Each structure stands twice: as structure tokens, then as C-alpha cells.
Amino acid sequence: MIELSNVSYSYGDRRLFSEISLALPAGSFHFLTGPSGSGKTTLLKLLYLELRPQAGQIAVFGQDAAGLDRDQVALTRQRIGIVHQDCRFLDHLSLVENIALPLTVAGRNVAAERNNMNELLAWVGLGAQAGSTPPQLSGGERQRAALARAVILSPDLVLADEPTGNVDWEMSTRLLTLLIELNRMGKTVLIATHDLHLIRQAKAQVSARVLRIRDGGLQLAGSDL
């Protein structure tokens, strides 16, 4: 589904990755961990085609990402759901409009998807907040709304960047449960987190691989987690 081959990335003189390789097969569940500033978000941005690798190759759904034009990048993103750390909502739109944003930009008839929308809102437990605007939501509600937006187009891959970073333990568990449910539906899931408790909790429920960024490389974490 997604493959990184010898990918390198630097910010100025600071090298984040050096020739890392990674394969995310369809239906897999991965955690990406590492200390703050190790490059977890950057790696997710590379996978989401927000950034271009300075060296190496990224193949997304069988296509070389470097060869995609801007329209193809947009269409590829419609097949990837992402939960940003800061959620990235449009504050002037209601919660429903924000969740429906991928449908709107894909040119789909949002009104015709009303039943699906209601189901999705119920799934993330935000049915009562449908008319609220993002600033009116709590941190946990925003994260769940971001997850709903990420999956509304039924993407093949879901990326989540510190989805439990700003929420309490109960909400973390709830979000993790939703992500595990998505994986059981056949979606590939990659969660970037430094929350080891979350990783242990997930590993108890699902077969998850844990990848760790360390010293500019990507390692498969073992029993230390």
C-alpha cells in the first residue's frame, strides 16, 4: 500500500532521517514512536504527501509519489484519512461541515450523505454537538471529530498524529477503540505517539507493529514496550 525506500529528510543542517525504509501493508496496524522532535510528524507528512523526501522514494498505492501532479496528490489524499495533532478545523464552519469537508472538496453531495453523517457522528459520540463550531468543543471532542473527518471518505489508510495528546485517559481509550474498530474494518492504521501506555493497551487488543525513530533511523521496537 505504502512503501518508503531509503528516504532521507533534513531541516536545514539537522538531519531527521537517513535512508529509512518502511512498508505499510493493507490492513496492518502500526505505531510510530520516538522522542519529541524525532520526526514522527515529519514522517506522517511525507506519507500524506505534504512534504517531498530529499532522497529516496515513496510509493503510495502503487504510484511513485514524486511523479504525482497536484491533482493526483489531491486524489491520493482522498484515499488517506489523517488526524492532525492540532485537528486543523475551519472555525467558521459547523462541526458537521468540518467533518463533511473531504466530501465537499471531493465534489460529493453532502446532503445525500446525511444518514452516513449521522451514523458517523454517533460512532464518535458527537451527535449532540453537530451544530457546534470547533472552538465550542473540548479537546477530546475535537480529536474525535478529526477522526470522523479522517474516515468520512472511507479511506484505505488512516494516519493519526498524537491523537491522544490532549485528552484524558478515558478519551484516549475511546479514541483507540475507534481506531482499532477501523482496523478491523480492513483499514490500514498508523498512529504516531509517544504514549507507551496507549501502545501497550492497543497491543493487547490488536496485532500491532511498533516502529521507533532513533538516531535518524527507523527500528522495529521489541519487548521493551
Partner 1 sequence: MRTLPHLATQLSGGDAERMVPRTGVTANLTMFAAGAMAFLCVFALALLFSTNRVAERWASELANTATVRISAPDGQEAAQVAAVLAILEQTPGIASARAMSDDEQALLLAPWLGPDLPLADLPVPRLVEITEAGRGFDAEGLRLRLRAEAPGAVLDDHTRWRAPLIEAADRLRSLGWLAIGLITASMAAMVTLAATAALAANGQVIEVLRLAGARDAFVVRAFTRRFTLRAFSGAMVGAVFAMAAVGVMPNPGAAASFFSGLGFRGGEWFAPLFVPFAAAVVAFLSTRFAATRRLRSIR
* Residues 20-49, mask of contacts with partner 1 (x by CB under 8 A): ----------------------------xx
Tell me the number of residues near partner 1 by CB under 8 A: 30
Cβ proximity to partner 1: between 29 and 48 the closer is: 48
Q: How far is the CB of 195 from partner 1 (least distance, A)?
A: 24
- Member of 75, 122, 128, 185 binding partner 1 (CB under 8 A): 75
The label of the residue with cell 473540548 reads: 138
In the list 36, 70, 170, 222, the residue contacting partner 1 (rule: CB under 8 A) is 70
- How many Å apart are CA 60 and CA 40, to the nearest integer? 18
Separation between Cα atoms, residue 217 and residue 52, nearest integer Å: 18
User: Given the complex with partner 1, which of 23 and 74 has the nearer CB atom?
Assistant: 74
Nearer to partner 1, 66 or 122 (CB): 66
Q: Are 87 and 139 in contact (CB under 8 A)?
A: no
17 or 89, CB closer to partner 1? 89
Confirm or reject binding of residue 57 to partner 1 (CB under 8 A). no
With b meaning 16 or more CB within 10 Å and e meaning fewer, what string describes 123-140? bbebeebeebbbeebeeb
First CA to last CA across the chain, in angstroms?
A: 26
Between 163 and 208, CB nearer to partner 1? 163
CB 33 within 8 A of CB 40: yes
Q: Kindly state the smallest distance separating residue 181's Cβ from partner 1, in Å.
A: 22
How do strand 157-161 and strand 55-60 relate by DSSP bridges? unpaired
Decide if 152 contacts 99 (C-beta within 8 A): yes
* CA 2 – CA 14 distance, rounded (Å): 26
Site for partner 1 in 76-135 (CB under 8 A): 77-78, 82, 84, 88-93, 97, 101-102, 104-107, 110
Is 152:100 a contact under the CB 8 Å cutoff?
A: yes
Nearer to partner 1, 9 or 29 (CB): 9
Interacting residue ranges for partner 1, rule: CB under 8 A = 48-52, 70-71, 73-75, 77-78, 82, 84, 88-93, 97, 101-102, 104-107, 110, 149, 153
